Structure 1
Amino acid sequence: MSRKRPTDDGDELLARLGSLTAQARERAELQRSRVELAIALQRGMLPRDLPTARGYHLAVQYAPACHGLNVGGDWYDAFTMPDGRIGLSVGDVQGHNIEATAFMGQVRVGLRALASVTGEPGELLARTNDLLLSLGSDLFATCTFMRLDPVTGVLESARAGHIPCVWATADGKSGVAEDEGGPPLGVQEGTEYPVTRYRLTKGGVFVLLTDGVVEGPSMSAEEGLEEVVRLAGSAAVAGMQAGSLAAAVIQGAERVGHEDDAAVLVVGHDGIPGEYGRRVQP
Structure 2
Amino acid sequence: MVDRGAVDRGVTPAAVPSPDDWPARPELILALNQTGSFDWDLDTGRLHLDPAALEILQMPPERFHGSIADLAGRVPRDDAARLDALVSQHLKNGSDTYGAYYRIRTGDGGMRWTYTQGRIQRDAEGRPLRILGLVRDATQELGQAGPREPDAERRHQTTVVETITAALAHARTVQDVIDFFKDSRAVEHLGSDLLVLGLLDSGRIHLVAEGPSEHFIPGTLYTRVDDDFPMSEVIRTLAPRFIESPEEFASGYPWLWERIKDIGIASAAYLPLIAQARPIGALGLLYRDARGFTRQERNLFIALSSSLSQAIARAMLFDQEHDLAEGLQQSMLPRRIPEVPGAQIAVRYRSARMGRDIGGDWYDAIPLPGGRVGAVIGDVQGHDTHAAAVMGQLRIVLRAYATEGHSPATVMARASSFLHELETDRFATCTYAEADLTTGVVQLVRAGHIDPLLRHTDGTCRRLPVSGGLPLGLSAEFGRIDYPVTTVELDPGETLMMFTDGLVEQPGSDLDEGMRRLSGLVREGPYDLDKLADLLCDVVGERVGEDDMAVLLLRRHGPATRGGGRLQQHIAPADPDGLSAGRHMIRAAVRAWGARERSDEVELVADELVTNALLHTDGAAVVTIRMITGPERRVRVEVEDKSSALPRRREPGESGVSGRGLLLVDRLADVWGVEPRGTGKSVWCEFVVPDRHHVADDAG
Instruction: Compute the TM-score of the two structures, normalised by the length of structure 2.
Output: 0.34
Per the alignment, in what secondary structure is the counterpart of residue 424 of structure 2? coil
CA distance 1:255–1:34, shift in 2 (3 Å)? closer
**Contact 1:205–1:232 (CA under 8 A) maintained in structure 2:** no
1:148 has 2:435 as partner: yes
1:80 has 2:367 as partner: yes
1:281 has 2:584 as partner: yes
Instruction: State how 1:252-271 maps to structure 2 within 5 Å.
Output: 252-254=539-541, 257-271=544-558
**Contact 1:72–1:261 (CA under 8 A) maintained in structure 2:** yes
CA RMSD of aligned residues (A): 2.8
Corresponding letter in the other structure for 2:510:
S
Instruction: State how 1:202-213 maps to structure 2 within 5 Å.
Output: 202-213=492-503
Offset at residue 248 of structure 1 (A): 1.9
Offset at residue 216 of structure 1 (A): 1.5
Q: Give the Cα–Cα distance (whole angstroms) in 1 for the partners of residues 355 and 336 of structure 2.
A: 30
**Contact 1:166–1:228 (CA under 8 A) maintained in structure 2:** no
Instruction: State how 1:33-72 maps to structure 2 within 5 Å.
Output: 33-72=320-359
**Contact 1:143–1:184 (CA under 8 A) maintained in structure 2:** yes
Per the alignment, in what secondary structure is the counterpart of residue 281 of structure 1? helix
1:194 has 2:484 as partner: yes
Offset at residue 85 of structure 1 (A): 1.6
Q: Which residue of 1 aligns with 2:424?
A: 137
**Contact 2:354–2:544 (CA under 8 A) maintained in structure 1:** no
Q: Give the Cα–Cα distance (whole angstroms) in 1 for the partners of residues 366 and 528 of structure 2.
A: 20
Q: Give the Cα–Cα distance (whole angstroms) in 1 for the partners of residues 486 and 395 of structure 2.
A: 21
**Contact 1:145–1:157 (CA under 8 A) maintained in structure 2:** yes
1:20-52 superposed Cα distances (whole Å, 9 cap, x missing partner): x88x99888776654433222210111122122
Range that drifts further, 98-107 or 60-69: 60-69
Q: Give the Cα–Cα distance (whole angstroms) in 2 for the partners of residues 216 and 121 of structure 1.
A: 31
CA distance 1:205–1:197, shift in 2 (3 Å)? same
Corresponding letter in the other structure for 1:259:
E
**Percent identity of equivalent pairs:** 38
**Contact 2:469–2:475 (CA under 8 A) maintained in structure 1:** no
Q: Give the Cα–Cα distance (whole angstroms) in 1 for the partners of residues 464 and 545 of structure 2.
A: 23
**Contact 1:41–1:102 (CA under 8 A) maintained in structure 2:** no
Match of 2:509 among 219, 225, 242: 219
Range that drifts further, 46-55 or 183-192: 46-55
1:143-171 superposed Cα distances (whole Å, 9 cap, x missing partner): 00111112111111000000110002114
Q: Which residue of 2 aligns with 1:242?
A: 529
1:114-164 superposed Cα distances (whole Å, 9 cap, x missing partner): 223343111100000001111111111100011111211111100000011
Offset at residue 80 of structure 1 (A): 0.8
Q: Pick 1 or 2: higher relative contact order, CA cutoff 8 A, min separation 6.
A: 1
Range that drifts further, 37-46 or 168-177: 168-177
Q: Give the Cα–Cα distance (whole angstroms) in 2 for the partners of residues 178 and 74 of structure 1.
A: 22
Q: Give the Cα–Cα distance (whole angstroms) in 2 for the partners of residues 157 and 49 of structure 1.
A: 23
Offset at residue 109 of structure 1 (A): 0.8
Corresponding letter in the other structure for 1:89:
V
Per the alignment, in what secondary structure is the counterpart of residue 188 of structure 1? helix
Q: Give the Cα–Cα distance (whole angstroms) in 1 for the partners of residues 519 and 315 of structure 2.
A: 41
Instruction: State how 1:18-37 maps to structure 2 within 5 Å.
Output: 33-37=320-324
Per the alignment, in what secondary structure is the counterpart of residue 167 of structure 1? strand
Range that drifts further, 54-63 or 25-34: 25-34
Q: Give the Cα–Cα distance (whole angstroms) in 2 for the partners of residues 234 and 31 of structure 1.
A: 36
1:8-28 superposed Cα distances (whole Å, 9 cap, x missing partner): xxx9xx9xxx8xx88x99888
Q: Give the Cα–Cα distance (whole angstroms) in 2 for the partners of residues 248 and 26 of structure 1.
A: 33
**Contact 1:143–1:185 (CA under 8 A) maintained in structure 2:** yes
CA distance 1:234–1:154, shift in 2 (3 Å)? farther
Offset at residue 244 of structure 1 (A): 1.5
1:97 has 2:384 as partner: yes
Match of 1:106 among 393, 399, 419: 393
Q: Give the Cα–Cα distance (whole angstroms) in 2 for the partners of residues 165 and 39 of structure 1.
A: 25
CA distance 1:233–1:68, shift in 2 (3 Å)? closer
**Contact 2:446–2:467 (CA under 8 A) maintained in structure 1:** yes
Offset at residue 258 of structure 1 (A): 2.9
Which has more strand, going by share of residues?
A: 2
Corresponding letter in the other structure for 2:504:
V
Count of aligned positions: 257
Instruction: Compute the TM-score of the two structures, normalised by the length of structure 1.
Output: 0.81
Corresponding letter in the other structure for 2:487:
R
Q: Give the Cα–Cα distance (whole angstroms) in 1 for the partners of residues 433 and 546 of structure 2.
A: 27
Q: Which residue of 2 aligns with 1:3?
A: none
Corresponding letter in the other structure for 2:495:
V
Q: Give the Cα–Cα distance (whole angstroms) in 2 for the partners of residues 91 and 242 of structure 1.
A: 20
Per the alignment, in what secondary structure is the counterpart of residue 475 of structure 2? coil
Question: 5+ residue gaps in structure 1?
Answer: 1-10, 273-278
Q: Which residue of 2 aligns with 1:169?
A: 456
**Contact 2:529–2:553 (CA under 8 A) maintained in structure 1:** yes
**Contact 2:355–2:546 (CA under 8 A) maintained in structure 1:** no
Q: Which residue of 1 aligns with 2:66?
A: none
Range that drifts further, 256-265 or 70-79: 256-265
Per the alignment, in what secondary structure is the counterpart of residue 230 of structure 1? helix
**Contact 2:354–2:545 (CA under 8 A) maintained in structure 1:** no
CA distance 1:270–1:147, shift in 2 (3 Å)? same
Offset at residue 53 of structure 1 (A): 2.8
Offset at residue 101 of structure 1 (A): 0.9
Question: 5+ residue gaps in structure 2?
Answer: 1-298, 560-580, 586-700
**Contact 2:452–2:464 (CA under 8 A) maintained in structure 1:** yes
Corresponding letter in the other structure for 2:416:
N
